[in-house]
Structure 1
């Protein structure tokens, strides 16, 4: 029996060493060698971006925080003297953005402006769940567990060459979906008519915690002379219609008590046209351009009606009524 156990331990050990060696050499997620020049199926964006920024505290002074949706926002289109970095990462929530801001400030980053892209994920997403996911963990110095988790991952059978994304970690911070864009260009109508369904409807509810965290983000920005610009992300009609809109409207009411914001959600022209989306959860760069145009007043032509409405505590009820009327007439 002892011999059997020893043999089992030996075989398991050899298997783990082979697995870890393979993952280190192949480096599917770019963590070990820091090479993000080729397409990857994913990368621990939150971790590697914070590490990069803290190692280069003078490189950027303006940031866009938000979940993966804001990855399609091209901040290089803004010409106001600031140097922008897109801090998008999967399932990002206010708790994480608040801690990132504190960490960046403590690390010597002089932040002038923050763009904050919120949506329904902001109040149901759980940062504790993110910490258990090796691709979503936050940055901690000497975090050996992050590397061990990656070394022990089961190798993917999907090829990054056909499904991967290029993560521009060392420049803009954006993910570039070149392969998907090429697929769309081949037959835009087919792609739009068969848009991949990705839900953003969650079962959790951190509304109170999220509002407190956004309040603290606002206070931290004010204390440090940081201009805070908040906006609600555009949503496809599928995602918009599947969520609890009463809950979403309550989020909008409470957000308006903290700060004014631009609301890009609703059943506007952008939402109902599948050509504007990679999947039902993620808008494409042409939509990101319209967000920048609206916020920074750079639009050359009129934007879609109801897209990017400026909302404050004084007009939030009127705005919600307009959205409800829009929904009823859809």
Structure 2
């Protein structure tokens, strides 16, 4: 009996020590930024969905124009569009979906945030990514930080050695801004003057066997909700289609074909789409692509320039 009690006590103390260490680590290191103890995120991705939403709600008069996108939109430095009348914030977060964007927009409006302009950026994730998949994902689930309560679930997440060690800041990494403009800043990713000796290759979409379109009713429904809400609130809305790389198209041809079908359906339903580079694909090179999925700020600047010159006045004055 004594031996059993001793083993039980040792086990209990071990468990207690583990959870104590875990809670101290998560609160002190604060890898997701939920406890407010970390405000810089160099090479580490916080829970942007929660932090950015909370930042806007805490500063309801600071911004009135927003970009909603998945991580591809991080290098669209929309603060470059700021004017005397418009102050932009980049609401990009990893794997963000239109359903989540709609809820964030509703939350802003319900809390008296002035919203004048919206850019909603899309890629094939509109079809294949589900907001429900983020409910148990610490880096993506939405936590209402306006509520005055301890986020216990974040205290007892497993310890990450990678997050303790940090990122080698001498190598390529992304700095995630939360508290200024919401942008992504790519460091050590490409040469500053790379455009002088790297040409952007613009390619045709290769031929592929046709496939049966999916049912896009749920995607169209949520995009219509966003469009209607903007119409009702007098918000200028632009639907941006992210450019795609040739390498990504080849590696996920079926998904890209389905996304093309969705865009056709949207246009047939009266959606006006901002499609920089049209239906072309872009060749991958370090100057223009961080990886085959994410373009660099060099492409982002071209997109924003075209938006400012041609689309800002054409965007739907809802």
TM-score, normalised on structure 1? 0.77
Distance, in Å, in 2 between the alignment partners of 1:63 and 1:156 is: 35
> CA RMSD, aligned part only?
3.0
Q: Structure 1 residues 54, 12: closer, same or farther in 2, change over 3 A?
A: same
> Per-residue deviation at 1:265?
6.2
How far 1:295 sits from its partner (Å)? Answer: 1.6
The equivalent of 1:136 in structure 2 is 140
Counterpart pick for 2:52 among 49, 54, 72: 49
1:63 and 2:66 correspond:
yes
Relative to structure 1, the CA distance from residue 254 to residue 169 in structure 2 (aligned partners, 3 Å threshold; closer, same or farther) is same
Matched, 1:175 2:184: yes
Q: Which residue of 1 aligns with 2:276?
A: 264
Is the Cα–Cα contact under 8 Å of residues 22 and 155 in structure 2 kept in the other structure? Answer: no
Query: Matched residue pairs, number?
Result: 285
How far has the Cα of 1:183 moved from its partner? Answer: 11
SS of equivalent to 2:282: coil
CA distance in structure 2 between the aligned counterparts of 1:125 and 1:20, rounded to whole angstroms: 31
> Which stretch of the first structure deviates more once superposed, 49-58 or 14-23?
14-23
TM-superposition CA deviations, 1:179-238 (whole Å, max 9, x none)? 4347997xx98xxxxxxxxxxxxxxx7832221110000000001000101110011111
Judge conservation of contact 1:93–1:121 (CA < 8 Å) in 2. yes
Quick check: 1:166 aligned with 2:175? yes
Question: Quick one: structure 1 residues 223 and 208, their matched pair in 2 at CA, closer, same or farther if it must change by over 3 Å?
Answer: same
How far apart are the structure 2 equivalents of 1:121 and 1:31? 26
Report Cα offsets for 1:83-136 as digits up to 9, x if no partner. 000000000111000101000000110100100101100111010111211110
Query: TM-score normalized by structure 2?
Result: 0.80
- Looking at structure 1, the residues matched to 193 and 148 of structure 2 have their Cα atoms a distance apart, in angstroms, of 39
Alignment-derived partner of residue 116 in structure 1: 120
What does residue 294 of structure 2 align with?
Answer: 282
* Counterparts of residues 1-330 of structure 1 (less than 5 Å): 1-37=4-40, 39-80=42-83, 81-140=85-144, 141-142=146-147, 146=151, 148-149=153-154, 151-157=156-162, 159-162=166-169, 164-181=173-190, 207-241=216-250, 242-244=252-254, 245-256=256-267, 257-264=269-276, 268=280, 271-274=282-285, 275-297=287-309
Distance 1:246 1:111, change over 3 A: same
Q: 1 or 2, which has the higher helix percentage?
A: 1
Gaps of 5+ in 2: 199-213
| Structure 1 position 247, deviation (Å) | 1.2
